[in-house]
Structure 1
Amino acid sequence: MTSLSVEMLAADPVAPITSAGHAQLGIAVLAGIAVIVLLITKFRVHAFLALTIGSLALGAIAGAPLDKAITSFTTGLGTTVAGVGVLIALGAILGKLLADSGGADQIVDTILAKAGGRAMPWAMVLIAAVIGLPLFFEVGIVLLIPVVLMVAKRGNYSLMRIGIPALAGLSVMHGLIPPHPGPLVAIDAVGANLGVTLALGIVIAIPTVIIAGPLFSKVAARWVDVQPPEKMIPGRASDDLEKRPSFGASVATILLPVVLMLAKALVDIVVDKPEHGVQRVFDVIGSPLIALLAAVIVGMFTLGRAAGFTKERLSTTVEKSLIPIAGVMLIVGAGGGFKQTLIDSGVGQMVLDISKHWAIPALLLAWLIAVVIRLATGSATVATVSAAGLVAPLAADMSTAHTALLVLAIGAGSLFFSHVNDAGFWLVKEYFGLNVGQTIKTWSVMETIISVVAGGLVLLLSLVI
C-alpha cells in the first residue's frame, strides 16, 4: 500500500480532463465543496450521495466532459476502496471481537481498578487510546461513553473531567494514527511510508492528547458542570458472558498490528536493503493487510475462544461487524472519487503552481486546506481524503519523513473545530446530555486544541528531521 506512488493514484497530471484556467478551477473547487456542504447540512443528504453529486458538479463547472468526470470519480472510488477497503473490514472485525468478547470491558476494569482520584483522567486517556486503535471513531464513542458515564457516576467525578480525556484519546487516534481510514487514505494519496507515519504520529499524538485531554478537561469541567444523564447509563455489554479474555491477551491482540508495522519501519531504517531476506520478511508481515489479518486471526482465539465463543458465534460476530461499515466504506470511496476528480481536473497541479509563489510552508498549506474542508463538510475523513488529493503533488520532492509529516498535517487539520455539520458533535451532545452551547465549549474547543497542537508539532518536527 505504501508503495503506491502519486502517479499511480492520479491520472497523468500533464493531461488533465479539462483545459480550464486557475480561476475557473478555483471556482469549480469552491462550487463542488459548496454543493457537498449544502447537501449534507441543508438537505440532510447522505455523505456518499453528496460527494458523488459534488464531484460531478466540480467536473462540470471546470469544463470537463461529463463522461470523463464520471470516469475520474469511479476510478478514484475504486482505487480508494481497493487500497483501504480490506483494512477497514479487518479493523471492524477486530473491534467487534474486542467488544463482544468482553475484552474491552476487561481492559477498562483493570485500568480503573489501578487508578483513582487525580489519576482517573489519565486512565481514561489510556483506555481510549488503547481501545481506539482498531475502532472507528463513532464505534469508539458508542463503546467508551457508557464506561465514561459509569465511572463519573460511580466515582462522583465531573463528567467533563472524565469524558474529555476519553474523547481526546479517541479523536487523536482517529486523525493521526493508522490503521484508521483517514490516515490510510492520505498515506496512499501522497505515497508516504506507513511505518514512518505511524512512528511520527505516535510522537505527535502523546503530547497532543495530554494537552487536549487531562489538561484541558480541568478548564472544561469549570466551563460546563453537568452530571451523567441517568437514561444514558446502560448495563455492561458483556454481562451475559461466563468468562472474559485476560487483560494481557486483550491488550496484546490490539497492539499486535501496531507492533508489526513499527517493526517493519525499524527494519527498513536499520537494514535499508530491499533485497535483504530479513527486510523482505518484515515487508510482508508488517504490511497493514497482513498485520491486521494476523490480529484478527489471533483475536479469534485470544478474544473469541477465551470468552467461550463457539464456531457459530465467532462466525456471527464477524458477519455483524461488517454490516455497519458499508456506509463508512462508501463515504471513504466517494471521498477518493472526489479527490480523483480534483486531481484529474488539474486542481492538484494548480495548487502546486500557486503555492510556488506563496511564502507558506507546504505542511502549513496542507493543514489549512484540511481545516477549510473540515469546517465546510463536517467530516474529518472527507477533509483528509480531499486535502490529500489537493496537496499530493507537493510530496513529489519531499523526503520520507517530510512526506509522513504531510500526512499528519492533513490529519491534524481534519480535526479542527467540529460543529453542527459533524455527526460526532451530535453523538457527544446526546450521550453527555449537553445543549449546543455546552457542546461547543467542550467538544468543539477540544477538537480545535488537538488540531492546532498537532499541527504545530508537525511544523516543529519538520525543522529538526
Structure 2
Amino acid sequence: MTALAAGWTGHDTRLIGATLVAIALIVVLITKAKLHPLLALILGSGLLGLAAGMPVDKLIKSFGTGVGTTVASVGVLIALGAMLGKLLADSGGAEQIVDTILAKAGKRTLPWAMALVAALIGLPMFFEIGLVMLIPVVLLVAKRSGRPLMLLGIPALAGLSVLHGLVPPHPGPLAAAGALNANVGLTLALGLLVGIPTLIIAGPLFGRLAARMVPDAAPPARLIPEAEEKHEHRPSFRATLSTVLLPVVLMLGKALADILLGKENEARRILDFIGDPLVALLAAVLVGMFTLGKAAGFDRARLSGTISEALPPIAGILLIVGAGGGFKQTLVDAGVGDVITGLATGASLSPLLLGWLVAVAIRLATGSATVATVSAAGIVAPLAATLDPTHGALLVLAIGAGSLFFSHVNDAGFWLVKEYFGLTVGQTLKTWSLMETVISVVAIALILPLGALL
C-alpha cells in the first residue's frame, strides 16, 4: 500500500474524480431526469473527457471511435439475433418448444420445465422480448396446473436473466467481449458452464423459497390468457431446437478447435470460419428461414416482413450499446483504465473480482444491465490485455454477473415483472430483485474458483 501511495499522482486523482462525476451524471440523468441512456452516455462521456483535461477534438474523436468500433463489432450480431428470435416467435417455433416440453413435464417437474423453456427461448432473444413472450405461457401453466405463480415464474425469469447476462449472443456479453477482445466462443462455453448451475440455484430452487414468501401472487385477470394462440402450421420441435442451437454449436466448435487443434490445422481453419459469431448467426437465420418460416407456410413476402420487423425494436439497444462503447473509449483514452489497473495491481485485487464490483456499482446506480456491462468493460479494459484468453472470457462473465446484481426501482425490468405478476413493490423486491442478486452472487462464486483453476 505504501508503494501504491508513492506512485499516486494528482493527475490520477483528477481522472478518478472525473470518472466518478461522469458516472454520477449518467445515473442522475437516467434515474431522476428520465433521460434516455443514449443521451445520458453522450453527456457523461463529454463531461468525463473535459474534466480529465482531454482536448475537445480528441474527445470527440475518441467517443466516435468507440461508437464505431462497438457497433461494427456487435451491431450486426445483435441484428441477426433479433431476426432469429422474430422467426422463432412468428413461425410458432417458440410455441412448439413450450408445448413439447410441458407435455413431457409432470406437476413436480414443472418449475424445471419452465427454466428449460426460458433458456431455450432466451438463447436468441433479448430479455424484454423473451419476457413478454413467456409471461402468457407462465400465467396459463400456473392457471391450468394450480401451482403457485412464483414457483413457475421465478425459474422462467431466471432462465432469461442468466442467458441475458452470461451467454453470447446477448448484447451485454457481446459488447463486453468486444471491448475486452475476448474470444466469443470461449466466453459462450464458459458462460454455459457457469450459467447452468447458476440457473438451477436461482431458478427452480430459489423459486420454492419465493413461492413461500409470496404465496398469494395473482396477476391482473386481463393478463391471464384464455387459450394459447395456435398457428395453423408450425415447425417441428426437432427442427426448431436444431435451428436455435445451431449458432451455439458452431461457436462452441470453434472454441474447442482453438483449444485442441494447432493453428495450421485445416479443420481448425474451417471451424474458425463457421464458428465466427457473424457466420454462425447468419447461418442460423438463413437456415431458420426454411426450417421455421417455410415450415410455417410463410411465402417470400411474409418472410421478408418478419425479418424487417425484427430490426426497429432493437434500434434503441444498438444505440445504447454504441454510446456505451463511446463512453468506454473515452475512459480508455483519458487514461482512467491505466489508473484502475495500477490500483488493482497495487492492491493485489483479482481482475475478475474488480470487474464484478465495478459492474455491480454501475448496475445499482443506473438500473441498466447493458450500461453496467459496457461501462465496466471500459473501466477494466487495460487489465484484459494482461490476461490469457480463458481469463479474458472469465472477465467478461464476471462483468456480466455484476451487471445483474439487485434489480430495483430504477430498472425497467423491475416494473415489467411487478405489473405482469400483480406484485407489490415489496413483493417484487423479495422475489425478482432477490433472484437477480442470487444469480449475480452464485455466478461470481463459480467464476472466481474457475479463474484459480484454469
Task: Report Cα offsets for 1:95-127 as digits up to 9, x if no partner.
Answer: 000000000001001111111211000001100
Picking from 123, 129, 138, the partner of 1:133 is 123
State the identity %. Answer: 66
1:295 Cα offset (Å): 0.4
Aligned partners of 2:442 and 2:236: how far apart in 1?
36
Q: Which residue of 1 aligns with 2:214?
A: 224
Aligned partners of 2:300 and 2:228: how far apart in 1?
20
Give the partner amino acid of 1:68.
K
Does the 8 Å CA contact 1:72/1:341 hold for their aligned counterparts?
Answer: yes
Picking from 251, 267, 279, the partner of 2:268 is 279
Task: Report Cα offsets for 1:396-429 as digits up to 9, x if no partner.
Answer: 2222211111111111111100111111111111
Does the 8 Å CA contact 1:102/1:238 hold for their aligned counterparts?
Answer: no
Aligned partners of 1:112 and 1:224: how far apart in 2?
24
1:52 Cα offset (Å): 0.8
Picking from 150, 163, 174, the partner of 2:164 is 174
1:334 aligns with 2:323: yes
Aligned partners of 2:259 and 2:343: how far apart in 1?
35
1:435 Cα offset (Å): 1.4
1:228 Cα offset (Å): 3.3
Picking from 343, 368, 380, the partner of 1:391 is 380
Q: Which residue of 2 aligns with 1:350?
A: 339
Does the 8 Å CA contact 1:378/1:418 hold for their aligned counterparts?
Answer: yes
**Compared with structure 1, are the counterparts of its residues 301 and 20 closer, same or farther at alpha carbon in structure 2 (3 Å cutoff)?**
farther
Note the 1:56-455 alignment, pairs <5 A. Answer: 56-225=46-215, 226-234=217-225, 238-239=229-230, 241-273=231-263, 275-455=264-444
Query: TM-score, structure 2 length as denominator?
Result: 0.96
**Which deviates more from structure 2 when the two are superposed, residues 448-457 or residues 357-366?**
357-366
Q: Which residue of 2 aligns with 1:24?
A: 14
Does the 8 Å CA contact 1:136/1:174 hold for their aligned counterparts?
Answer: yes
Aligned partners of 2:10 and 2:284: how far apart in 1?
48
1:222 Cα offset (Å): 1.1
Task: Report Cα offsets for 1:73-115 as digits up to 9, x if no partner.
Answer: 1110111000000000000000000000000001001111111
Query: Equivalent residue of 1:117, what SS?
Result: coil
**Compared with structure 1, are the counterparts of its residues 236 and 38 closer, same or farther at alpha carbon in structure 2 (3 Å cutoff)?**
farther
Query: Equivalent residue of 2:317, what SS?
Result: helix
Give the partner amino acid of 1:438.
Q
Does the 8 Å CA contact 1:174/1:180 hold for their aligned counterparts?
Answer: yes
Does the 8 Å CA contact 2:87/2:293 hold for their aligned counterparts?
Answer: yes
Query: Equivalent residue of 1:214, what SS?
Result: helix
Q: Which runs of 5+ in 2 are unaligned?
A: 1-8
Aligned partners of 1:409 and 1:235: how far apart in 2?
42
Aligned partners of 2:257 and 2:178: how far apart in 1?
21
Does the 8 Å CA contact 1:100/1:238 hold for their aligned counterparts?
Answer: no
Does the 8 Å CA contact 1:97/1:299 hold for their aligned counterparts?
Answer: yes
Aligned partners of 2:385 and 2:329: how far apart in 1?
17
Aligned length: 445
1:40 Cα offset (Å): 0.8
Aligned partners of 1:445 and 1:237: how far apart in 2?
30
Give the partner amino acid of 1:358.
A
Give the partner amino acid of 1:395.
A
Does the 8 Å CA contact 1:158/1:227 hold for their aligned counterparts?
Answer: no
1:236 Cα offset (Å): 6.5
Give the partner amino acid of 1:136.
F
Task: Report Cα offsets for 1:219-238 as digits up to 9, x if no partner.
Answer: 11111121233211246675
Does the 8 Å CA contact 2:175/2:374 hold for their aligned counterparts?
Answer: yes
